[in-house]
Amino acid sequence: MSEEAIVVAVRTDFSKAANTKLRKSGFMPAVVYGLNEPPANIAISPKVVARILSSESGRNSLVYMQREGTDIKRHVIIQAVQRHPVTGRLVHIDFLRVDPTHKVRVKIPVRLLGVPIGVKSQGGSLDFVHRMLEIECLPSLIPGHIDVNVETLKIGDSIRFEQLNLSSALRILGEEHEVVCAVRAKTAEEVVEETAGVAVAAAAPVAGAEVEAAKKGKKDDKK
């Protein structure tokens, strides 16, 4: 995010009625905490949060936030997101204050790139073990995701933490030998299930054709 400050209003009424009124006015409740300072309850636009979440760095974006009517400005990152269980709309956000000069620990999503040789040509299966990695770095250097190319993996191959080609500014938290992903041979049960699935899919059009033929026969009988 840019250094342009996002201005937010401080909330003093935390009742259910106040929250309902707040949402009807186009805002939602949120809280800011961290850096040994008292928590601050604020109101923020869901559209602003949605813009942050859809940016390259996503929920790990470094945001410059200013309290309305004051000179108080803080760098923050999104710590937690709450959504409505049915509609999926944003209902509450937790922001964490961070010091740009001090490292933070955050979880970053992993993206696997390509189709492994072991899956494409050897009939294997790709196990995605760690979909999120916890890293430590300066707030301004938090990546939106970590890309891992898996195209050359054969059955029995894996990619471990120590094999990831990351910037020296990033430090993965965890054991070096931990597996990010691996290609393995499919079990007999998986092969049987896949074969059965293919058979059902192949039979479906035939069954449909038989129904259509029966309908057509009835029409012909009426002529």
pLDDT tens for 151-185 read 999 999 999 999 999 999 999 999 999 999 999 99
Q: Which of 130, 134, 10, 141 has the alpha carbon at shortest distance from 67? A: 10
pLDDT tens for each residue of 97-148? 999 999 999 999 999 999 999 999 999 999 999 999 999 999 999 998 999 9
Separation of alpha carbons 121 and 155, rounded Å: 10
Return the H-helix or E-strand segment holding 43. strand 37-44
Which class is domain 105-185? mainly beta
Question: Between vectors from CA 94 to CA 93 and to CA 98, what angle results, nearest 5°?
Answer: 135
pLDDT band at 207 (very low <50, low <70, confident <90, very high): low
The whole-model pTM stands at: 0.74
Q: Tokens in use for 148?
A: 């891992």
pLDDT of residue 164: 95
**What CATH code would you report for 6-98?**
2.40.240.10
- Angstrom CA distances, 92 to 22, 47, 68, 83, stand at 12, 13, 19, 7
Going through the chain in order, the beta strands assigned E by DSSP cover: 6-10, 28-34, 37-44, 63-67, 73-83, 90-98, 104-113, 124-128, 132-137, 146-149, 158-160, 171-172, 179-185
Of the listed ranges 40-44, 143-147, 158-162, 192-196, the least confidently predicted one is 192-196
Q: What angle do CA 117, 120, 125 make, to 5 degrees?
A: 85
